[in-house]
């Protein structure tokens, strides 16, 4: 419980149709690096997050007594804890997010109907192949606060217990009955996908059960005039459009921007070429060229090379078979790895598997165990 007194700085803000107090923290830590950050910048970041939640009409603020009344009327109501997740964004900004602590308590997201799909690498290859063959434009989009704009699915009651640094004006703990999804909510991604599908279907795009994150269709304007064809791949809040015309592309982007802030992050045209990054893959096309190239940043494997002391390359194919045979025949090679060595191996393997999705020549070597 936080009680207003002079020793603690706070600001009064509007959230969920009520006034709340946002308290300045004594210290703040980067969630990834665990480094201490400037509390003043963190306090500003917290206020920015409250402002964003209010702007997205995320929910309604209530007290503990009202939550108990709600649970009596709706026994299946989920009451979820939350916490601040902070990140250093430069000398002048600390980003703060209120994140739901929606843990798995014996049931998977899939079994509860919360599971949300992501596109396969084969679908990325297919869309790029069609774009290359037909001379389509490519445009990458970033969706801001996708989850916070996504309505909670009908019939679901979710209550978020806010961090103690966000209290009612009385100083009592604050709760929010969610109308929109939130970061780390297990069904947030599915809520967003449903909102996205409804939005793009209104302009002529549709998907199917085989690849639900890939959309395609004929785009028309408000008067029914045909503008062109568009394909779209969606990976959570990142989107790649492949369109036959700029008009069709703009129609889809503008429809999205009406429901959630959308920013163009890259553009490739057959005439001018260009480069963009989509879910960690670099897509390029030369000016006037007919080929589209898919790869990763040239420095992508450098951290792994540094961890294993690799300082130069080789023109020779590694003799993996001999290593495998020696491992099987010599029990001395079957000693368990240390925790540090195992973590290092997992990091290297993960990077190689990601790289193999754009380097098919590596798949044969990675398939050997």
Q: How far apart (Å, rounded) are the C-alpha atoms in residues 138 and 72?
A: 52
Is the per-residue pLDDT at 1 higher than 50?
A: no
**Helices marked H in the chain:** 39-55, 64-73, 121-134, 188-201, 246-259, 302-307, 320-329, 339-356, 363-366
The pTM (predicted TM-score) of the whole model is 0.76
For 52-65, the pLDDT digits (tens) are 999 999 999 999 99
Closest C-alpha to 260, from 152, 177, 148: 148
Cα–Cα separations (whole angstroms), residue 26 to 1, 29, 39: 16, 11, 7
Residue positions counted in the chain: 369
Q: How far apart (Å, rounded) are the C-alpha atoms in residues 34 and 200?
A: 40
Q: How far apart (Å, rounded) are the C-alpha atoms in residues 291 and 285?
A: 6
Is the per-residue pLDDT at 332 higher than 90?
A: no
- Residue 78 β-bridge partners: 158
DSSP, res 60: E
Instruction: Quickly count: other Cβ atoms within 10 Å of residue 304's Cβ.
Output: 17
* Nearest-10 crossing angle of helices 188-201, 246-259: 130
HSE-CB of 232 using CA atoms within 13 angstroms: 36
Interval 225-249 mean pLDDT: 96
Let me know how many helices (H) and strands (E) the chain has, helices first: 9, 19
For 171-229, the pLDDT digits (tens) are 899 999 999 988 778 888 888 989 999 999 999 999 988 899 999 999 999 999 999 99
DSSP, res 137: E
pLDDT band at 323 (very low <50, low <70, confident <90, very high): low
């Amino acid at each position: 419980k936080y009680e207003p007194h002079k020793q603690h700085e706070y600001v009064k803000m509007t959230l969920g149709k009520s006034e709340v107090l946002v308290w300045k923290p004594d210290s703040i830590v980067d969630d990834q690096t665990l480094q201490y950050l400037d509390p003043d910048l963190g306090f500003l970041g917290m206020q920015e997050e409250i402002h964003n939640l209010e702007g997205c009409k995320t929910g309604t603020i209530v007290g503990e007594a009202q939550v108990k009344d709600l649970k009596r009327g709706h026994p299946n109501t989920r009451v979820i804890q939350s916490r601040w997740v902070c990140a250093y964004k430069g000398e002048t900004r600390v980003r703060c997010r209120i994140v739901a602590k929606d843990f798995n308590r014996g049931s998977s997201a899939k079994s509860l109907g919360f599971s949300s799909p992501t596109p396969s690498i084969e679908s990325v290859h297919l869309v790029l192949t069609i774009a290359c063959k037909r001379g389509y434009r490519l445009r990458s989009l970033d969706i801001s606060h996708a989850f916070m704009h996504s309505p909670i699915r009908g019939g679901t009651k979710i209550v978020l217990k806010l961090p103690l640094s966000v209290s009612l004006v009385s100083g009592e703990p604050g709760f929010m009955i969610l109308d929109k999804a939130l970061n780390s909510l297990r069904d947030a991604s599915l809520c967003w996908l449903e909102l996205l599908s409804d939005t793009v279907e209104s302009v002529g795009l549709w998907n199917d059960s085989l690849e639900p994150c890939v959309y395609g269709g004929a785009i028309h304007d408000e008067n029914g005039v045909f503008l062109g064809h568009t394909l779209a791949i969606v990976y959570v809040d990142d989107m790649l459009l492949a369109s036959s015309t700029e008009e069709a592309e703009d129609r889809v982007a503008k429809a999205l921007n009406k429901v959630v802030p959308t920013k163009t992050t890259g553009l490739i045209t057959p005439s001018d070429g260009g480069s963009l990054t989509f879910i960690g893959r670099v897509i390029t096309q030369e000016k006037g060229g007919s080929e589209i190239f898919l790869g990763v940043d040239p420095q992508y494997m450098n951290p792994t090379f540094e961890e294993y002391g690799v300082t130069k390359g080789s023109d020779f194919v590694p003799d993996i078979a001999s290593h495998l045979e020696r491992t099987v025949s010599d029990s001395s090679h079957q000693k368990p790895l240390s925790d540090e060595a195992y973590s290092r191996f997992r990091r290297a393997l993960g990077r190689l598997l990601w790289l193999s999705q754009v380097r098919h020549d590596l798949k044969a070597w990675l398939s050997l165990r």
